[in-house]
C-alpha cells in the first residue's frame, strides 16, 4: 500500500509539472528610429533622440573612444558635448533586456569653435556694460595679439613651497596666449625645472591696483581632479608686510573633479592678531547642471567699505561684513592675479581621470567704481 502511494505522488507531480505554462520568449525591439541634432554654433553639443517598439531602455555610445561607457536612458533622449573636433560614430541600442537588443549607427562630423586648437564655448552669460551709480574705471578685453604689459606681468617658477600650497606646477609665460579677443592660460602635463606640470600666473602688481568697486570677469573654466583656477587679489602692500597681513580677496576659485567642476567659491584671508584668518569653507555656488567648462559665466565681487559680496551671473551667493577692525586689510588698494594651479593642499593631486591640457579662457575683466 505504501508503495502505491509513492507511485501516485510521483505521477501526480509529473502531471502537475507538465501543466505549467512555458516561459514567454523575449520579444526583441523593432523599428528603431534615431535622430541626431548637432549644434551648428560650434559648441560641440549633440542631442540624440531614439525610439523603438518594445524597447525598455536604450544604450547610447558617442564614439569618443573604444572603451567608453554608454549613456543609459529609459526615454531614448541624451545630450553630449564633444571636447574635440572630428568624425564620430554614434551607436544606439534599443533593449528589451541587457542581452536582447537591436542597434543602429550614424556618423556625425563635429567642428568646434577653436582658437589655436583650443575649444572655445559659444554660449553663456554676458554682463551688462553699465551699472547704476558706477562708472567703468578699467577694463581689459584682451583685444591685442599679446598680453598688455602696461597691465600685466608674469610670475615665473615654482614659488616657495609650491607657492605656499605644495602646488605641482612651474609657471612660465609660454602657457599664456592672447588671440581673438581672449586670454587663454593653459595647464599642461610636461616637465620643467623639476616640476611635472606647467601653467601661467599673471599679476597687475605695481601696474593696476584698486580699492573698492564692482569687478566682473567673464570666463570659461578648466576642469578635472587637481585643477585649481583662480581670479583673486592681494593687498598692494604685499611686498612690505607679506601674507596674510596684506589681505587676500578671492573672486573665484574652483577645485576640480566631480561636483567640484560645477562649484566655485569666494573667500577672504586676513591677519588677526598675528594669526591667519579666513572665511574658508562656505558652500560656494554650484550649477544646477553642467560644468563651468561648458559655457561662459561672469564671476563678480562687489567690494565696499562695509562688505564684500560675491556673484555668479549676477546671482548673489556669498557676503562678508568687513567692518570688524581685524578686517582692516580690506580698506586699502589690491592688485589682481589670474592663474591655474595644479595640485596643492586644497585640490589634491591630479589622477588618471584628469585630462591635460586644461584651459582658463577669459573674455574680459571690468572694474567699476
Q: How confident is the model at residue 111 (pLDDT cuts 50, 70, 90)?
A: confident
Q: Is the pLDDT of residue 199 over 50?
A: yes
Q: Is the pLDDT of residue 50 over 70?
A: yes
β-pairing, 195-199 vs 169-171, is parallel
Q: How confident is the model at residue 362 (pLDDT cuts 50, 70, 90)?
A: very high
Catalytic residue among 68, 103, 193, 248: 248
Catalytic residue among 19, 253, 319, 326: 253
- All domains of the chain in start order, with CATH: 30-112 (2.60.40.10), 115-368 (2.60.120.200)
More confident residue, 183 or 12: 183
Any idea what DSSP says for residue 165? Answer: I
More confident residue, 145 or 2: 145
Q: State how far the Cα of 250 lies from the Cα of 334, in Å rounded to an integer.
A: 11
The pairs formed by 272-277 with CB atoms below 8 angstroms and a separation of 24 or more are 272/326, 273/326, 276/244, 277/244, 277/326
Active site residue 193: no
Q: Is the pLDDT of residue 12 over 70?
A: no
- According to the model, what pLDDT value does residue 21 have? 64
Lowest mean pLDDT among 62-71, 133-142, 356-365: 62-71
The residues, ordered by sequence, that sit 6+ positions from 216 with a Cβ below 8 Å of its Cβ are 127, 298, 299, 300, 364, 365, 366, 368
Question: What does the pLDDT look like over 268-326, one tens digit per residue?
Answer: 999 998 999 999 867 799 999 999 999 999 999 999 999 999 999 999 999 999 999 99
Q: How confident is the model at residue 266 (pLDDT cuts 50, 70, 90)?
A: very high
- According to the model, what pLDDT value does residue 41 have? 78
- According to the model, what pLDDT value does residue 18 have? 52
The mean pLDDT value for 60-74 works out to: 93
Active site residue 329: no
The mean pLDDT value for 234-242 works out to: 97
The mean pLDDT value for 87-100 works out to: 96
- According to the model, what pLDDT value does residue 83 have? 80
Q: For residue 242, which phi and psi values (nearest 5 degrees)?
A: 75, -175
pTM higher than 0.85, yes or no? no
Percent of the chain with pLDDT over 70: 94
Query: Do the beta carbons of residue 228 and residue 347 sit within 8 Å?
Result: yes
Question: What does the pLDDT look like over 161-184, one tens digit per residue?
Answer: 999 999 999 999 999 999 999 999
C-alpha cell at 193: 625645472
C-alpha cell at 268: 577672504
Q: State how far the Cα of 201 lies from the Cα of 73, in Å rounded to an integer.
A: 42
Q: Is the pLDDT of residue 6 over 80?
A: no
- According to the model, what pLDDT value does residue 220 have? 97
Any idea what DSSP says for residue 11? Answer: H
Dihedral angle sign, alpha carbons of residues 160, 165, 170, 175: negative
Mean pLDDT of the residues in the chain:
92
- According to the model, what pLDDT value does residue 19 have? 58
The mean pLDDT value for 324-348 works out to: 96
- According to the model, what pLDDT value does residue 24 have? 80
Most confident of 85-89, 116-120, 338-342: 338-342
Query: Do the beta carbons of residue 220 and residue 361 sit within 8 Å?
Result: yes
Closest CA to 251 of 226, 218, 275, 204: 218
C-alpha cell at 167: 602646488
Q: How confident is the model at residue 4 (pLDDT cuts 50, 70, 90)?
A: very low
Distance from chain centroid for Cα 261? 4
Q: Is the pLDDT of residue 8 over 90?
A: no
> Which helix (DSSP H) or strand (DSSP E) does residue 217 occupy?
strand 213-220
Amino acid at each position: 500500500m505504501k508503495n502505491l502511494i509513492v507511485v501516485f505522488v510521483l505521477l501526480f507531480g509529473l502531471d502537475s509539472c507538465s501543466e505549467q505554462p512555458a516561459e514567454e520568449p523575449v520579444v526583441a525591439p523593432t523599428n528603431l528610429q534615431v535622430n541626431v541634432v548637432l549644434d551648428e554654433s560650434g559648441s560641440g553639443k549633440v542631442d540624440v533622440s531614439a525610439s523603438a517598439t518594445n524597447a525598455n531602455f536604450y544604450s547610447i555610445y558617442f564614439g569618443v573612444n573604444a572603451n567608453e561607457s554608454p549613456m543609459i536612458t529609459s526615454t531614448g533622449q541624451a545630450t553630449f558635448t564633444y571636447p574635440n573636433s572630428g568624425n564620430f560614430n554614434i551607436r544606439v541600442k534599443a533593449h528589451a533586456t541587457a542581452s536582447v537588443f537591436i542597434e543602429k549607427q550614424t556618423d556625425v562630423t563635429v567642428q568646434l569653435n577653436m582658437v589655436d586648437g583650443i575649444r572655445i564655448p559659444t554660449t553663456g552669460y554676458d554682463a551688462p556694460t553699465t551699472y547704476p551709480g558706477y562708472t567703468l574705471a578699467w577694463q581689459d578685453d584682451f583685444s591685442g595679439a599679446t598680453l598688455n604689459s602696461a597691465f600685466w606681468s608674469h610670475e615665473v617658477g615654482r614659488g616657495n613651497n609650491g607657492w605656499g600650497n605644495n602646488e605641482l606646477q612651474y609657471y612660465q609665460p609660454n602657457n599664456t596666449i592672447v588671440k581673438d579677443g581672449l586670454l587663454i592660460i593653459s595647464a599642461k602635463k610636461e616637465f620643467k625645472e623639476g616640476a611635472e606640470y606647467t601653467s601661467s600666473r599673471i599679476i597687475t602688481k605695481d601696474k593696476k591696483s584698486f580699492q573698492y568697486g564692482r569687478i566682473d570677469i567673464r570666463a570659461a573654466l578648466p576642469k578635472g581632479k587637481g585643477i585649481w583656477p583662480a581670479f583673486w587679489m592681494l593687498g598692494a602692500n604685499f611686498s612690505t608686510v607679506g601674507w596674510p597681513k596684506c589681505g587676500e580677496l578671492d573672486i573665484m576659485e574652483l577645485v576640480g573633479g566631480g561636483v567640484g567642476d560645477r562649484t566655485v567659491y569666494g573667500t577672504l584671508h586676513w591677519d588677526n592678531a598675528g594669526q591667519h584668518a579666513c572665511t574658508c569653507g562656505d558652500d560656494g555656488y554650484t550649477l544646477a547642471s553642467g560644468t563651468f567648462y561648458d559655457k561662459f559665466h561672469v564671476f563678480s565681487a562687489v567690494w565696499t567699505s562695509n562688505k564684500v559680496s560675491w556673484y555668479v551671473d549676477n546671482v548673489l551667493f556669498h557676503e562678508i561684513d568687513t567692518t570688524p577692525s581685524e578686517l582692516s586689510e580690506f580698506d586699502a588698494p589690491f592688485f589682481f592675479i589670474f592663474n591655474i594651479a595644479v595640485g596643492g593642499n586644497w585640490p589634491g593631486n591630479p589622477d588618471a581621470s584628469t585630462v591635460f591640457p586644461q584651459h582658463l579662457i577669459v573674455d574680459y575683466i571690468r572694474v567699476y567704481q
